[in-house]
Amino acid sequence: MKKPEIDISIDKDGQVRIKVHGVSGEECLKLTDAIREIVGIEVSRQLTTEYYGTPGGVRIDAQVQQRN
Amino acid sequence: MSTVCVLAPVVVGSWPVISAAIFGAAAGMGFATVEAHEAGSDVRAESSIDIDVPNSEVISDEIGHGQSIVIERDGVRAEFTHDDRGGCRICMTGRASKRELERIGQELAGRVVQQFAYHKLMSELKQRRFSVVDEKVGADQSIQVRVRLS
């Protein structure tokens, strides 16, 4: 099983960017929250496709239109 | 990747801990530490400006009370102090325009935050069983680290 990895980039102005790899869902959020507790204030957060499940999965968005 | 998060560090620590970040930032930017009684020998103050280190709080203790750190580079002096309210402040003076002093002071403040965040993260992640897989300094002076849960 792949172990979780975190890419951390600390800019020269001190801002910290983290990218969590190898885990999805709640585990991913737990790791992100743990880093936030160490560092300080959350400025922004983005969830990517891997967060929602297995990488390579297909997501279908559909719209239903009502006919009169 | 599954989450991308941007964080602004909170710099809270005792004076010795914050001093370590100041010395790291100074060395990285080519500043030399000078003794308080030597400070200003080569620096003729044409302008001065105060810069706050963002989100900083020096936890008061007897060791650091009333102390300051003075660093110099190319006729520019930066004095780091902390007041009774706890914030860490940089007083920039020297042979440069106010705008230039502000630019250098902001960069110094940023690098102090960077050093503080780096050392805090590395120390805490080690305790949480993370190990460093890769580490480098980018061309833009960012510190890039990849850690893995052991």
Q: Can you spell out the DSSP letters for A1-68?
A: -PPPEEEEEE-TTS-EEEEEES--HHHHHHHHHHHHHHHEEEEEEEE-GGGGSSTT------------
pLDDT of residue B126: 93
ipTM confidence score: 0.86
Lowest mean pLDDT among A33-42, A58-67, B17-26: A58-67
Helix intervals (H) in chain B: 15-28, 98-127
Q: Which helix (H) or strand (E) holds B144?
A: strand B143-149
Question: Which residues of chain A lie closer than 8 angstroms to B106, CB-CB?
Answer: 13
Residue of A5, A9, A31 lying closest to B133 (CB–CB): A5
Residue of B9, B130, B133 lying closest to A14 (CB–CB): B9
Is the per-residue pLDDT at A68 higher than 60? no
Mean pLDDT of B90-98: 92
Q: Do A10 and B130 touch (CB under 8 A)?
A: no
Is the per-residue pLDDT at B38 higher than 80? no
Is the per-residue pLDDT at B68 higher than 60? yes
**Nearest-by-CA chain B residue for A29:** B3
Pick the more confident residue, A64 or A23: A23
Q: How many residues does chain A have?
A: 68
Predicted confidence band at B63 (pLDDT cuts at 50, 70, 90)? low
Nearest-Cα distance to chain A for B136, in Å, is 10
Mean pLDDT of B101-122: 97
Question: Which residues of chain B lie closer than 8 angstroms to A57, CB-CB?
Answer: none
Bridge-based pairing state of the strands B11-14 and B56-59? parallel
Q: Return the residue matching tokens 């980039």.
A: A9
Predicted confidence band at B121 (pLDDT cuts at 50, 70, 90)? very high
**Nearest-by-CA chain B residue for A19:** B4
